[in-house]
A and B are shown apart, each in its own frame.
Chain A
Amino acid sequence: MKQSLFETRHKAEWERFAVALERLEHGKDTSQVAGFPKAYRRICQHLALAQERGYSSFLIDSLQQQVLRGHQQLYRHRSRLGAQVLGFILADFPRLVREEWRFVAVASLLFFGSVIGFGLLVYLFPELIYNLIPADQVREMQGMYDPVAGHLGRSAERAASEDWVMFGYYVMHNIGIAFQTFASGLLIGVGSAFFLLYNGMIIGAVAGHLSEIGFGQTFWSFVIGHGAFELTAIALAGAAGLKLGWALIAPGRQTHGEALRLAARKSVLLVCGVMLFLLIAAFVEAYWSSKTSVTPLTKYAVGTALWLAVAVYLLFAGRTRHAPE
């Protein structure tokens, strides 16, 4: 069949297909595109015919474009976002954390080990703090948690608008740290390990120092609440980063690229959970931890309850099969 005959015979069909494509691409009413898959496969057939018969480049290129656009519409990854988010929070995230327990365990060991280790070191050898953290930062830290000053966090009795400031600050600062800890795992895991140890060192040193000089009450009652979410989140971000790194070190039977892609798909879900945790942490930190009207005892009680809640959530949520649906 000559090309011009082929073109005239199928022209109307191609134009209809172009209209349907236009409609789908702009997300307009999709009721009239029921025949789309069939039309798409017809176009694919026409393209194959045109190539087999040696028709001109223009015809083949334009058919190829139509097929490409059709392919994008037909095989796009559609998702029901609402249901997925709910399912993820209720079941998939804790399941994933349990599934990746090896990385979570290693990351937790690095991070909490570093927190506790440096905390004890600084508590026992107080002058060590000045080797770890610059002196003026130590002074600033002392000013923030001075029990005599009677306020917590950054400034005296804060107005609601200032809670806002701190909320914004915490979100930006903490999620930034978590993202760094995750992303640097791509450097065969070394980056994640470094950030876990480093952040653990800073937190541990500050905690040890403040306890040692007698500011323990103000400090611990301030951090215990949001710490449950914040510290867990950093450990989990590190675990996600270590998973990326491990895929490069031991790709198993896949190529490095393939192993990395598979690992990345899972670890990005972990990072989504981490973001959720950090949002909660920032909220608690800005609106609850900084309250001075609550007695330390209440704060310890609530803080312990939050730690337990996080543990129970990560260990037990999503174990029954039907719960999330």
Chain B
Amino acid sequence: MLEPTAPRRKAPLDTRHQVETPEGIDLPLRPAGLMVRAVAFAIDLGIRGLILGVLFIALAFLGKLGMGLGSLLLFAISWWYMVLFEVLRQGRSPGKQYMGLRVVHDDGTPIGWSASLLRNLLRFVDLLPFGYFLGALSCLHHPTFKRLGDIAAGTLVVYSERTLSRPQLPDAEPRRCPVPLTLNEQRAVLGFAERQAELSPARVNELAVLLAQPLHIAAPKAVSELNGIARGLLGPAT
């Protein structure tokens, strides 16, 4: 059994939720907040309305048999739509898929039948007394944005991971850093080089100048010097 390790650690600045695997690796999950979940739910609600509307029109031609089928369908769609999608499609209903969300167990494993059934049955309580009032309160109050159904079922709505593309490091002459760097500092310098393309030149310069003094590098050439250090840390291209 995996234990979420977040509460025992010092609380992180962002909302990441660390899950420790049996291999001793900490996996960061990013829980999704109230607004994005509300939008995902609205999309699902719309889709359900649309399906029911189309089916009812089709079933109206079948007369009495259609009415029976219709009430069965109403039952199936209103109570089982979420459960079926979540279990059979790796935690993604269409609305969640569109918003880039997915549901997982607290330990990061894909959601199963009992947890999904539970969180969707207890939705009834989250809806009380009107319009998701209790659910929204609980979601806003909880550190990982769980509504009551999520708390009881032990599930988490997280952002699904996006595919990463390899960033291009800016060209520079590899060089050695004048002062020894700790691991975190090394990562920071590498991060600076990797994210440079996303920042404006002025901001890049501003960040680099901040580092000029402590790293003993010339302030005017700070950007290229830092890129050089990053290159040096990365090692020769092969």
A242 contacts chain B at the CB level, 8 A cutoff: no
Given contacts A4-B234, A179-B79, contact A56 B63 (CB under 8 A): no
B→A interface (CB under 8 Å): 2, 21-25, 27-29, 63-65, 67-72, 74-75, 79, 90, 104-105, 107-110, 112-114, 117-118, 121-125, 128, 148, 151-154, 161, 164, 166-167, 181-187, 190-191, 193-194, 230, 233-238
The reply to whether B122 and A186 contact each other, CB–CB distance below 8 Å, is: yes
Stretch in contact with the other chain, from A46-54, A96-104, A303-311:
A46-54
A48-68 near B? 1/0 per residue, CB < 8 Å: 100011111110111011011
A72, B152: Cα distance in complex, Å: 21
A203, B230: Cα distance in complex, Å: 77
B109 neighbours in A (Cβ, 8 Å): 71-72, 75-77
A172, B125: Cα distance in complex, Å: 19
Q: In the complex, which of the residues A41, A68, A168, A179 contacts B67, with contact meaning CB atoms closer than 8 Å? A: A168
Q: In the complex, which of the residues A56, A164, A179, A183 contacts B234, with contact meaning CB atoms closer than 8 Å? A: A56
Instruction: Give how many A residues have a beta carbon under 8 Å from the other chain's beta carbons.
Output: 63
The reply to whether A172 and B183 contact each other, CB–CB distance below 8 Å, is: no
**Which residue on A lies nearest to B113, using beta carbons?**
A79
Main secondary structure of the interface of A (DSSP, over half): helix
Given contacts A4-B235, A168-B69, A182-B121, contact A162 B183 (CB under 8 A): no
The reply to whether B23 and A169 contact each other, CB–CB distance below 8 Å, is: no
Given contacts A57-B190, A67-B27, contact A3 B234 (CB under 8 A): yes
A→B interface (CB under 8 Å): 2-5, 8, 25, 40-41, 44, 47-48, 52-58, 60-62, 64-65, 67-69, 71-72, 75-77, 79, 159, 161-162, 164-169, 171-172, 175-176, 179-180, 182-184, 186-187, 191, 244, 257, 260-261, 264-265, 268-269, 271-272
